[in-house]
Amino acid sequence: MKRKISIYITAVVIIAVLSTAVIISGVFNGIIRRQIWEDLKIDSETILMTDDSINESKVIELNCLRVTVLNDKNFIVFDSLGETGNYINGSDINEAQMNGDGFSIEHSDSIDKDIYYYSDKLDNGNILRVSREADNILRFFEYLIPALCGIIIIMAALCFIVTRVLTKKIIKPIEKMADDISFKEVPEYEELVPVVNMLKEQHENILNNARVRQEFSANVSHELKTPLTVISGYAELIENKMVDENSVVRFAGEIHHHSDRLLSLINDIIKLSELDSDSIEAIYEDINLSEVVDDCMRILQENARRHDINLYEHCDSKAFINGNRSMLEELVTNLVNNAITYNKQGGSVWIDVNKDNGSVVLTVKDNGIGIPQEHRERIFERFYRVDKSRSKISGGTGLGLAIVKHIAASHNAKITLKSEVGEGTEIKVIF
């Protein structure tokens, strides 16, 4: 890893140096071209300072220039090198005829130089053309390349050494954590503290998730095994005709009871697994939570009647939230069923939906047995039961409140709990 980081940084530096050299060369070339053309323009103006007649005496002092005069047909009428009568065509000449003056550049292979041209249209219609030789910009690179290569080699070596040292210090705490995740030493660089803390947090989450999965698997095995053992035992007694006819009916009832409990458990496990894995893409829409509660109450009335529990409902008819209807129905059902199960005979359950400071609040309150202080933080854990005997009698799976917690989290809702032993429990879900 350290070697890769060093190589990457070194490569970045080399690319940066090369890019800088190319950009500087381009800018330098542009400046040189503009300067030469400006000089040629000044030379042209100097030649024409007195009149438009061009002769050898006027250009004798400008021995570094070639001065050419062309008529309106682009034929040479005067040339400082002695060429006359030849036809010349160039972009600078055409531009001068159209716009008054023009620039161009051509490369001469014979002398391996660039030739810069400036053409100026005279009042008499002739074209004054001045030109100058200059070294090609590529020749500049011939001198630059050795120096550039030397700079790159030195920079690459320095970068490789420096990055090796720095990355060693940077990676050191991470490597220590790889060997011992309980590593508590503060990293030398403060910038690494968030990374180290994040790794520790991720490690703790992994361990916690592994523990939860292990506990869940163990609990599932136990919870499934218990009713299956009972069902198998009663069935075996009936099959071997080891019970009288009166007992057969009772055993069949026990088998039916434990079968229902087993089915409820399997359904809750499936629901919880779906919520954990997000295997089902939930559709969220604007939903009137009061209508969801109304629908659930009609179904829950029978369960409340069997337990001799009174249900009271008070809902704001305009309490809308963005949610998934089936999930919300499951949440309301589990909360109310839990309040019914852990209640007193003749007790009551109040279901309230209202709006509070921009939030929609679902409240399920009962006057039942309450929850002891030591159990309140754990009642939303999977398979955790305060009263195990009551849960088994009622057919509870121990997963209802865990499902409520997951559904609330998927809706970005907050859950609050208030409870007093012997007085009852109040659970609020704030959307």
Which CATH number do you get for residue 368?
3.30.565.10
Q: What is the pLDDT of residues 40-77, one digit of tens each?
A: 888 888 887 755 556 554 554 555 688 888 888 889 88
Instruction: Collect all residues with Cβ–Cβ distance below 8 Å to 422 and sequence separation of at least 6.
Output: 369, 370
Can you say whether residue 272 is alpha, beta or left, with left for phi > 0 and alpha for psi between -120 and 50 degrees? alpha
Beta bridge partners of 134: 114
| Chain centre to alpha carbon of residue 345 | 53
Based on the fold, state whether residues 292 and 424 are members of the same structural domain. yes
Based on the fold, state whether residues 224 and 351 are members of the same structural domain. no
Distance in angstroms (rounded) separating the CA atoms of residues 425 and 342? 9
Residue 37 lies in a domain: yes
pLDDT of residue 428 exceeding 90, the answer is yes
Confidence (pTM): 0.47
The confidence band for 352, taking pLDDT boundaries of 50, 70 and 90, is very high
Q: What is the pLDDT of residue 270?
A: 74
Based on the fold, state whether residues 258 and 306 are members of the same structural domain. no
Based on the fold, state whether residues 85 and 195 are members of the same structural domain. no
Domain harbouring 22, CATH code: 3.30.450.20
DSSP annotation string for 47-84: HTSS-S---HHHHTT-TTSEEEEE-TTSBEEEETTS--
Comparing 194 with 99, which gets the higher pLDDT?
Answer: 99
Instruction: Collect all residues with Cβ–Cβ distance below 8 Å to 368 and sequence separation of at least 6.
Output: 339, 342, 343, 344, 347, 424, 425
Q: Which domain holds residue 41?
A: 2-139
Q: Beta 113-121 vs 127-134: how paired, if at all?
A: antiparallel
Based on the fold, state whether residues 425 and 292 are members of the same structural domain. yes
Q: What is the pLDDT of residues 341-351, one digit of tens each?
A: 888 889 999 99
Residue 7 lies in a domain: yes
pLDDT of residue 38 exceeding 90, the answer is no
Which of 428, 426, 401 has its CA nearest to residue 289?
Answer: 428
How many residues can be counted in the chain?
A: 431
| Chain centre to alpha carbon of residue 78 | 73
Q: What is the pLDDT of residue 22?
A: 76
Domain harbouring 270, CATH code: 1.10.287.130
Based on the fold, state whether residues 243 and 374 are members of the same structural domain. no
Distance in angstroms (rounded) separating the CA atoms of residues 107 and 262? 92
What's the total number of domains in the chain?
3
Q: What is the pLDDT of residue 250?
A: 80
Based on the fold, state whether residues 222 and 304 are members of the same structural domain. no
Segment 312-332 mean pLDDT: 88
Which of 129, 172, 125 has its CA nearest to residue 5?
Answer: 172
Distance in angstroms (rounded) separating the CA atoms of residues 31 and 33? 5
Q: What is the pLDDT of residues 82-117, one digit of tens each?
A: 777 788 888 999 999 899 999 998 888 777 788 899
Query: Side chain identity at 231, as an amino acid letter?
Result: I
Based on the fold, state whether residues 228 and 328 are members of the same structural domain. no
Based on the fold, state whether residues 299 and 249 are members of the same structural domain. no
Beta bridge partners of 139: none
Distance spanning both ends of the chain, measured CA to CA: 46
DSSP annotation string for 92-153: HHHHHHHHSEEEEEEEETTTTEEEEEEEEE-TTS-EEEEEEEE--HHHHHHHHHHHHHHHHH
Distance in angstroms (rounded) separating the CA atoms of residues 141 and 378? 75
Based on the fold, state whether residues 80 and 24 are members of the same structural domain. yes
Based on the fold, state whether residues 425 and 294 are members of the same structural domain. yes
Distance in angstroms (rounded) separating the CA atoms of residues 129 and 118? 6
Based on the fold, state whether residues 340 and 403 are members of the same structural domain. yes
Q: What is the pLDDT of residue 318?
A: 86
Query: Side chain identity at 200, as an amino acid letter?
Result: K
Residue 100 lies in a domain: yes
